[in-house]
Structure 1
Amino acid sequence: MGTDSASQSATAGDDRRDGRDETRTERLDRNWGDILQELRAVQTGTQIITGFLLAAAFQPRFTELDDYELTLYLVLVALAGLATVLGFAPVILHRQLFGRQQKDRLVHVANRMLFGLLVVVSLLAAGVTSLIFDVAIGRTAGYLALGAALAVVAAVWVVVPIIARRSR
């Protein structure tokens, strides 16, 4: 797993800027561990939402859904399925690359997959909120809930990172 001393010292020098004194391999291991922790956190929420959606189909009131609500429900089930697969994807990739000295590729690709998963789960959460408001209160409430949820998603994805960067 060795790197030549020039690239190792350049990497270590780069990492010292953030107070870390680690090799490139140690940084990749740490980043992979961070990705796994984030996947675990997202997986729990995804499982709860997916369970809710699957259980909803077996409720007596499910047959009362109109075409819009049924379409939204099916889109949400598809997003939940996609989120589940995206949650497994980095682990599958790890199995495929295991022992091939490609941790840098693993971390890079898994990071992209995690971003995709977070986008899907964000949309899923907004859609579930809209569906619940639509069924419980009415179509206007569903649209308003969707707008509010998407605004929160946009704030989390755009506004919060901008504020965090400026506060450095």
Structure 2
Amino acid sequence: MVQEIRVVQTGVQILFGFLLTVAFTPRFQELDDPDRTIYIITVVLGSLATGALIGPVAFHRIVSGRKIKPEAVTWASRLTMTGIVLLLATLVSALSLILRVTTDDHIVPWLVVGVLAWYLLCWFALPMWVRGRKTNGKDDPGDGKRPR
């Protein structure tokens, strides 16, 4: 789990750092109110995602040595999944803002929904599908039996 968190933590921190710099660019002053609102939402989501994804590290440091590893793993997993969902929202919000500023407004919703569908497929649907196939007893390698 720690390796998973390291990968996603780095990505969210880079994204969040980039988002923070946007407000200090000359082009930011040209944004209209809806785009500024999307920007603020994106920054807040990025901050929440960063907090949730760093949370397991702080949690581990604070409870380390207390002999509550199963509970610590459960909470770290919950924080990580929460962080991934918040990262998803951050990415979709950032994509929406970037596309609104750079392309024709009429295609933005379609592009954003398409990318969101891709994220949902890669991050949730595919793993859940594989998990369902592998844990329903037919292909479970842990039982030592071959599927019939």
Q: Provide the TM-score with structure 2 as the length reference.
A: 0.82
- Evaluate the alpha carbon distance shift between residue 119 and residue 65 of structure 1 in structure 2; reply closer, same or farther with a 3 A threshold: same
Unpaired stretches in structure 1, ≥5 consecutive residues: 1-34
Name the stretch that deviates more: 83-92 or 155-164: 155-164
The corresponding residue for 2:61 is: 95
| Structure with max Cα Rg | 1
- Give the equivalent residue in structure 1 for 2:127: 161
Cα offset for 1:162? 4.4
Q: How big is the alpha-carbon RMSD for the aligned residues of Structure 1 and Structure 2?
A: 1.6
Moved over 4 A (4+): none
For the structure 1 residues 51 and 109, does the alpha-carbon distance in structure 2 shift closer, same or farther, using more than 3 Å as the test? Answer: same
Instruction: Give the corresponding residue for 1:140.
Output: 106
How many residues are treated as equivalent by the alignment? 134
C-alpha deviation, 1:163, in angstroms? 4.1
Maintained 8 Å contact 2:9/2:54: no
**Contact 1:131 1:142 (C-alpha < 8 Å) held by counterparts:** no
Return the structure number with greater relative CO, CA threshold 8 A, min gap 6: 2
- Alignment of structure 1 residues 102-113 onto 2, 5 Å: 102-113=68-79
1:49-128 paired onto structure 2 within 5 Å:
49-128=15-94
TM-score (norm 1): 0.73
Output one character per residue of 1:101-134: Cα deviation in whole Å (capped at 9) or x when no partner.
Answer: 0111100110111110110111111111111111
